[in-house]
Each structure stands twice: as structure tokens, then as C-alpha cells.
């Protein structure tokens, strides 16, 4: 008996449906296995999931708006409220949730729904508020404060420095009324260094500064360049610091968190980003920063010798070759007479840079004129050196905005700025250069190198011992180097071939170089240093706390060149007993990781090479069995 066609179709459909359902179940099962495998590699074990969903991805902030402290700003209370408003803007732009409270709301209960307390210029505090701050700190709430914290009572009557000293560890605090503004310099190698360059200088508006003695401050008052104000040490004119208070993380600033309306845009952005990163750090969020120099060196050094001819540089070049360090030789094209065997010797130990076509200044001329002068100088030097000329030292230390465009147009890659100090690391200036109509504009870079150290001419002018120069002259150069090292910056050792570079004085040069080498400084030519910094600017870091014991980190080298011996520093929520790194992309990650000695809970990842246009993604796992 034949089976009806409809029944055959029904059976086939039923079998197909069963196989389809089974296949779908298998596929879903495999996806689940893959999903939980990914969770194991990223979020962590399944047992951690409930904690994950309770974990805050960003810090949540309570911001004090103190009517009591505003009394100090009378008859202009808006000066105080501007500070609070600046915090509101910075937090909102960073996407950090916050709520504003008044004096009566500063109680221990605010810790129930927030992780950070911000106390801008909270000078006038009652006993109840002081106790509340101590209680919040003991409960683990991170604190950011500014000004003479708690130095006055609720009616703004003076009480003393005891609360600020206990909170921030500031010794011998004092105030200094500033009527014409003041300069402040940020130290490098800190939790905020990915957003604020090492040695970055900002101009503070007129105000009453609070400063004192702090070991290794984050910010110190300067003389307008890198040097500390009043010829003191950075520790004795500290304007900001970070550390712990009752076991919780704290940040203190001795200045108002506002700048003048006419302040440089970069300065305003840097201050805002510093505030935000301070909140993230005290809130125990993951923060990653990229090391300034290769092989985690403590500083970089550019040895720049101004010479009259290649032959005049031979005494110093001999010393530098023996010490196996590179140098940059600055030579005006007008001083070049003809070919010399000295050219070859100089190129073996460094590079030639241009001092211009003549000794005449470059300012107050149009771009075309300055470009033509720079092209002439470069062409003349390159014919004799048989090597690219990439650096420029403006004669008479004078230049203007047209000079920067001319440097770029003439094919140079960097110039030395001896006139105005802005930061202790190179600044990469990018400008689009027009191409043919069917091609996008090409970006052209020029690096600006701020020179802050004292020259040999200035050092010798201050030297008081009669007769020949002694080894003690090296002390002044070493002091400048140590300051640059403190801020994790670039030190330029500037001297002339007829002074420190003269045969009878090279023993001083050798002493300085040996000291810098002993301090693990990276000594390189101007071209090498600015090329490294250009690549460093193209490295993008991302870090995220994804569970109480796991941090996802991604490093992307957007440069078309590899980076050698780079370091990434990760600020962890706490100092772990056990830490490991799990690669997530192509098994490419750091070959070495170690905790940095100190109190900041910092993990250093070392990369022998970051390949061009490549990404490295991994998990930092700590205190998991």
C-alpha cells in the first residue's frame, strides 16, 4: 500500500525539524561554551559575575559646595563658586557621575552610594565636618582636596595647620599671596602623566597659594621655567601631592582649580584632565600611562655643542666617543669653509644640525624668506656632511610663529626653543600639507624642544674660583640634570666648542656625562629623541577594571614604525600578592612584568618591540588562584 504524498512530506518535514532543532541546540551550546570561555579570559570565573554587575566602571563623586568656605571670598564669593563650577564641568565632560552637597550634608552616610569625596577650597570646616571626613577616609572613600583644608572653623576663624598636615603630610605649610600670577610645573611619571606632559608649566591666576614641604610632590611652584621658585628644591615649594590618609587614597592641591579666561587652551585642558585623573586614582580605577623613554630610563639627554667648524668639535667628540654616547653638533652654514675630515668623525658619533644660514635672527620675516634661508643652510650642510640635516637651532635664540612654518617647509623635523619654556618633553606640532586634488592632505610634523638648562657660558660666568676651571664646575650641570630627571623629562646639555668643549675643559664634560650615564639616562641625538617622541605620541592606551581582580588593557601602536624597548605603567586598585598577564590577541604581549618599588601600586609592562600599526590586548589578573 502506498503512503500518501502528504504523509511522506510530513515525515520528512518532521525529521528535518528535529535535525534542525538538534543542530540549533548544538550551535547554541557551542556558543555558550565559547561565551563562558571568553568570560573566563576577560571578566573572570562565573562565580565572579554577581560581583561584576555590582562593580562601578567609573568612580562616583560627592562634591562639596561649602557656603562656609565661600565666606573667605567676600566681597567676591563667585571666586569660590567658580572653583566648584570648574569641578562640575570637568566631571561632566569626563562622564563621571557626581552630586553636589552642602555643608550640612557632609556626613559619614555619603559613603553609601559614592566612592570619592571632592573638597574644593574647603578651608572653613566645623568639628563635625572634620570627623566626617576622617570617618569617610576610614571607610575607604577616596578624597581630593585643595587649599588650606580645615585651617579655619565653620565661621572662618583661624585654627591652624594640623588638619592639612595630617591629611596631606605637608610639613611647614604657609600661604603666599600672589597678585601677578605664578607658575607651576607638573612632575612626570605619575598617574596623570598620560594626560599632562612631564614638566608641563601652567600659569596660575592671582590668588593665595598654599605650599610647604612634601617628599616628591606632583606639582611645585617654579620661576617661569623648570627651576623651583626662590632657588629652592621642588620639595620645599610643593603645590600638590598624592598619598594615603587613614589608609585611603588622597590628593591635595595648594592652588585653585581655575585659570584665567585668557589662559592657553593646552593649560586649561591639562588642569581639567589632571583633576579627572585624580578622581580616578583615588577612586581606585585602572589607569595606564606610557613610559617617556626607552628601557624605562629616568630621563633623556640631548648633548648639543655649538661649533665653529667640524675641526673645533674634535676634542669633545673624542670624549663622547670614548663614553659611547651620541651628540648633536650645531653649526651655522656661514661658518662652513670646505670639506674636512672632521665631518666624518662627527657623523660617526651623532648628527649635524643647522644653526641657520648666518648668525642673523629669523624673527620678523615672512615665511617665504625664512624658508629660503633654512633651505639654503640645509643644502649647504648636507652637501658636505652627506647626511640629512634635520635639526635647527635659531640664531640669537630668536624666532616667531613664521619660523615654525618655515622649519616645516624646509624639511627639518625639530627645532630648539631656548626663549620660552613650556614642557620638559618635546612637543609635536602637526599641520596638514596640501596635496593633489585626488589625495587627502598629508600631515607634516615638527618637534619643539624646550631648552631649560643653563649654558656653559652662564655656568662659567658664575664660577668664582680663580685660575683654570675645576671639576666642581660640573656640579651646576649635574644639578640641572637632576631637576630634569626629577620630572622625568629631557635635559639639554648646551655648550660651545671654545668653552666646555675646549681641550683643557673636556675633563669637566667627561665628569658630567659619566654622572648622567650612571643615573640610567638615555643619551641620544636630537633626531633620535624627537623620532621616539613622535612615535610615542601615536601609541594609544586603554585600560578598564572589569572585575575586582581583572583589568583589560589594550596598547595600539598607530605609527608605521616599530617602537623598541617601550614600557607601560598600570596603576592598580591595590598592591597585589600575585599578578599575571594573559594575552588575548595573537598571544602578543609584554615579555616581562614587575611591580614598581614604591607606594603607588604600579605594575610595569615591558615591550621589546611594538610592531607598526599593531594592537596588543591582554588581561592583568591579580590575587586569583
Pick from 97, 268, 289: which is nearest to 188 by CA? 289
Give 497-552 pLDDT, tens digit per residue. 999 999 999 999 999 999 999 988 999 999 999 999 999 999 999 999 998 899 99
DSSP H or E stretch at residue 142:
strand 142-146
**Choices 3.40.630.10, 3.20.20.370, 2.70.240.10, 3.50.50.60: CATH for 298-519:** 3.20.20.370
pLDDT tens, position by position, 120-133: 999 999 999 999 99
Q: Which three cell numbers stand for residue 480?
A: 640641572
Q: What is the pTM of this model?
A: 0.87
| CA separation for the pair 499, 509 (Å, rounded) | 10
End-to-end CA distance of the chain: 69
Bridge partner list, 606:
567, 592
Tens of pLDDT along 298-335? 999 999 999 988 888 889 999 999 999 999 999 988 88
Cell of 165: 598636615
Q: What is the CATH number of domain 61-284?
A: 3.40.50.880
What is the rounded distance in angstroms from the CA atom of residue 203 to the CA atom of residue 509?
35
401-407-412 Cα angle (round to 5): 150
Q: Which of 36-40, 355-359, 612-616 is the least confident region?
A: 36-40
CATH number given to 535-622: 2.60.40.1170
* pLDDT confidence of residue 54: 33
- pLDDT, one tens digit per residue, over 260-309 is 877 889 999 999 999 999 999 999 999 999 999 999 999 999 999 999 88
Distances (CA, A) of 483 to 55, 452, 461, 526: 41, 10, 21, 20
Phi-psi region of 350 (alpha: psi -120 to 50; beta: other; left: phi over 0): left
Amino acid at each position: 500500500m502506498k503512503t500518501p504524498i502528504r504523509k511522506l512530506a510530513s515525515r520528512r518535514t518532521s525529521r528535518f525539524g528535529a535535525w534542525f532543532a538538534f543542530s540549533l541546540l548544538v550551535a547554541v551550546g557551542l556558543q555558550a561554551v565559547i561565551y563562558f570561555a571568553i568570560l573566563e579570559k576577560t571578566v573572570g570565573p562565573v562565580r565572579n559575575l554577581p560581583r561584576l554587575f555590582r562593580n562601578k566602571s567609573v568612580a562616583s563623586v560627592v562634591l562639596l559646595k561649602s557656603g562656609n568656605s565661600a565666606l573667605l571670598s567676600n566681597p567676591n564669593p563667585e571666586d569660590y563658586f567658580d572653583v566648584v563650577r570648574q569641578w562640575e564641568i570637568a566631571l561632566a565632560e569626563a562622564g563621571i557621575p557626581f552630586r553636589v552637597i552642602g555643608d550640612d550634608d557632609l556626613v559619614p552616610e555619603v559613603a553609601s552610594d559614592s566612592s570619592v569625596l571632592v573638597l574644593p577650597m574647603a578651608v572653613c570646616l566645623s568639628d563635625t565636618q572634620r570627623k566626617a571626613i576622617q570617618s569617610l577616609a576610614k571607610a575607604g572613600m577616596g578624597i581630593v582636596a585643595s587649599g588650606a583644608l580645615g585651617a579655619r572653623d565653620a565661621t572662618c576663624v583661624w585654627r591652624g595647620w594640623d588638619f592639612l598636615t595630617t591629611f596631606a603630610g605637608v610639613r611647614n605649610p604657609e600661604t603666599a599671596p600672589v597678585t601677578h600670577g605664578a607658575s607651576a610645573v607638573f612632575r612626570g611619571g605619575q598617574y596623570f602623566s598620560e594626560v599632562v606632559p612631564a614638566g608641563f608649566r601652567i600659569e596660575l591666576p592671582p590668588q593665595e597659594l598654599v605650599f610647604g614641604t612634601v617628599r616628591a610632590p606632583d606639582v611645585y611652584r617654579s620661576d617661569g621655567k623648570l627651576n623651583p621658585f626662590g632657588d629652592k628644591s621642588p620639595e620645599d615649594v610643593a603645590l600638590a601631592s598624592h598619598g594615603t590618609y587613614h589608609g585611603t587614597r588622597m590628593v591635595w592641591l595648594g592652588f585653585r582649580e581655575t585659570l584665567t579666561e585668557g589662559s592657553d587652551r593646552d593649560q586649561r585642558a591639562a588642569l581639567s584632565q589632571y583633576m579627572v585623573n585624580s578622581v580616578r586614582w583615588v577612586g581606585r580605577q585602572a589607569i595606564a600611562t606610557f613610559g617617556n623613554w626607552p628601557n624605562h630610563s629616568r630621563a633623556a639627554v640631548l648633548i648639543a655643542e655649538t661649533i665653529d667648524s667640524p675641526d673645533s668639535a674634535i676634542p669633545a667628540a673624542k670624549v663622547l666617543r670614548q663614553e659611547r654616547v651620541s651628540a648633536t653638533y650645531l653649526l651655522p652654514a656661514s661658518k662652513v669653509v670646505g670639506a674636512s675630515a672632521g665631518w666624518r668623525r662627527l657623523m660617526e658619533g651623532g648628527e649635524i644640525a643647522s644653526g641657520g644660514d648666518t648668525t642673523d635672527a629669523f624673527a620678523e620675516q615672512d615665511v617665504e624668506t625664512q624658508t629660503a634661508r633654512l633651505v639654503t643652510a640645509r643644502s649647504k650642510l648636507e652637501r658636505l656632511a652627506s647626511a640629512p640635516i634635520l635639526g635647527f637651532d635659531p640664531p640669537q635664540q630668536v624666532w616667531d610663529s613664521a619660523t615654525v612654518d618655515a622649519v616645516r617647509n624646509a624639511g627639518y623635523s625639530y627645532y630648539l626653543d631656548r626663549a620660552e619654556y613650556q614642557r620638559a618633553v618635546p612637543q609635536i606640532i602637526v599641520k596638514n600639507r596640501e596635496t593633489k586634488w585626488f589625495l587627502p592632505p598629508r600631515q607634516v610634523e615638527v618637534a619643539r624642544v624646550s631648552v631649560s638648562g643653563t649654558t656653559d657660558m652662564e655656568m662659567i660666568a658664575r664660577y668664582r674660583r680663580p685660575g683654570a676651571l675645576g671639576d666642581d664646575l660640573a656640579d651646576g650641570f649635574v644639578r640641572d640634570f637632576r631637576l630634569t630627571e626629577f620630572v622625568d623629562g629631557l635635559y639639554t646639555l648646551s655648550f660651545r666648542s671654545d668653552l666646555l668643549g675646549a681641550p683643557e675643559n673636556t675633563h669637566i664634560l667627561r665628569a658630567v656625562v659619566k654622572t648622567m650615564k650612571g643615573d640610567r639616562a638615555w643619551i641620544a641625538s636630537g633626531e633620535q629623541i624627537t623620532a621616539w617622541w613622535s612615535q610615542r605620541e601615536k601609541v594609544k592606551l586603554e585600560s578598564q577594571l572589569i572585575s575586582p581582580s581583572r583589568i583589560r588593557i589594550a596598547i595600539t601602536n598607530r605609527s608605521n614604525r616599530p617602537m623598541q624597548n617601550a614600557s607601560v605603567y598600570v596603576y592598580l586598585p591595590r598592591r597585589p600578592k600575585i599578578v599575571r598577564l594573559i594575552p588575548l590577541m595573537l598571544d602578543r604581549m609584554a615579555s616581562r612584568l614587575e611591580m614598581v618599588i614604591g607606594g603607588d601600586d604600579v605594575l610595569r609592562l615591558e615591550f621589546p618591540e611594538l610592531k607598526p600599526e599593531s594592537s596588543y590586548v591582554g588581561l592583568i589578573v591579580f590575587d586569583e588562584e
